[in-house]
Amino acid sequence: MRGGLWQLGQSITRRLAQADKKTIGRRCFASEADLKKTVLYDFHVVNGGKMVPFAGWSMPIQYKDSIMDSTINCRENGSLFDVSHMCGLSLKGKDTIPFLEQLVIADVAGLAPGTGTLTVFTNEKGGAIDDSVVTKVTNDHIYLVVNAGCRDKDLAHIEEHMKLFKSKGGNVSWHIHDERSLLALQGPLAAPVLQYLTKDNLSQMYFGEFRILDINGAPCFLTRTGYTGEDGFEISVPSENAVDLAKAILEKSEGKVRLTGLGARDSLRLEAGLCLYGNDMEQHITPVEAGLTWAIGKRRRAEGGFLGAEVILKQIEEGPKIRRVGFISSGPPPRSHSEIQNSNGQSIGEITSGGFSPCLKKNIAMGYVKSGNHKAGTNVKIVIRGKSYDGAVTKMPFVPTKYYKP
């Protein structure tokens, strides 16, 4: 097991570093002095957080327990993540929805107030600028969260199109929630623990739903969502209340919910078959190729109207040339960019994320292969450091999701 633990830590560190380099456009990490810190930085350090650079921020990759133990504890009990490096923003105005629908693939107009969905910001060629969870608070208020490493380019992209939209008489404005912090509470104890801290009945709030409510005495934006495959919540809290809320959550759980870092967060999302932008999604990958066709609403497929719609709708009709799929494999855990070959030794694609699964105790990975090689059960070879190892295409998620649905 020591070998598995070491491989897990090494593969996660490489994967996060690679996504970081791609998204912030650097070949080396920033110096400590250049890094931004969340309001929970000192709290992390006091609690044994091992701080590393990520997307221009100093973030905990793990605490006193191993990444292996943290991953398993999230699935058995619960985890509390500081994800305040991510960027929350609100769009407001009577034309907010038609504006946003120019930029994303989701049927935002079709969402019921207080609900949200995963979506993708696309470019003119249909490639992914970023993925995001977008929530319709009301018909003239949209709340969304974008990835930390994509913040600058996302905001520039939104602002450029907003200026053009407003110049033509469109009514939309925005507010970037830099005054707030973001916590993710995940796992089977997430709801019972959080219920101690709010008067609202969380048993009546389902996956993908959003509320504005008081938690531990602070006005919060609460979304029942996450990045682990478990039931859980993302809590946008005023920054001055963030440390107190984190302490209250840990206290109410009686030690069962643990502070958890980026290392376990990455292994959890990989087990859940979820994309990491910069690895599994990039500007040249379309939502269809990434296996996110389900996120393109029926009305959007009929009407288009978003950037790159012509390319994306053609792929839906004719099928993409490459597809994102899952793998299990023998030998060492696959690395990003590991070559995938068919049984004849011909190159058919490459791995984008891979590692040792703490919960399944075996290697898992995802990557892109040429269409026709994507069916579950297809045997492949994965080349790692010049040697070929047996693998097979498998369905995702690797670990069943446990989202709270009616």
Residue 47 CB neighbours (<10 A)? 15
Q: Which residues of 69-101 are buried (b: 16+ CB within 10 A; e: fewer)?
A: bbbbbbbebbbbbbbbbbbbbbbbbebbbebbb
Measuring CA to CA, how many Å separate 87 from each of 35, 81, 170, 210, 230? 16, 15, 24, 17, 22
Distance CA 212, CA 387 (A): 53
As to burial, measured by CB atoms within 10 angstroms (0-12 exposed, 13-18 middle, 19+ buried), residue 162 is: buried
Distance CA 381, CA 390 (A): 5
Distance CA 111, CA 145 (A): 17
* The total number of residues written for the chain in this structure: 406
Residue 63 CB neighbours (<10 A)? 20
pLDDT tens track, the chain, 406 positions: 434 444 555 556 566 656 665 544 443 445 677 899 999 999 999 999 999 999 999 999 999 999 999 999 999 999 999 999 999 999 999 999 999 999 999 999 999 999 999 999 999 999 999 999 999 999 999 999 999 999 999 999 999 999 999 999 999 999 999 999 999 999 999 999 999 999 999 999 999 999 999 999 999 999 999 999 999 999 999 999 999 999 999 999 999 999 999 999 999 999 999 999 999 999 999 999 999 999 999 999 999 999 999 999 999 999 999 999 999 999 999 999 999 999 999 999 999 999 999 999 999 999 999 999 999 999 999 999 999 999 999 999 999 999 999 9
Measuring CA to CA, how many Å separate 365 from each of 72, 326, 354, 357? 18, 6, 4, 9
Distance CA 322, CA 6 (A): 32
pLDDT at 360: 98
Q: Are 297 and 309 a contacting pair, CB within 8 Å?
A: no
pLDDT at 18: 62
- Residue with tokens 């045997």, as numbered in its chain: 379
Residue 41 CB neighbours (<10 A)? 19
pLDDT at 32: 72
pTM attached to this predicted model: 0.93
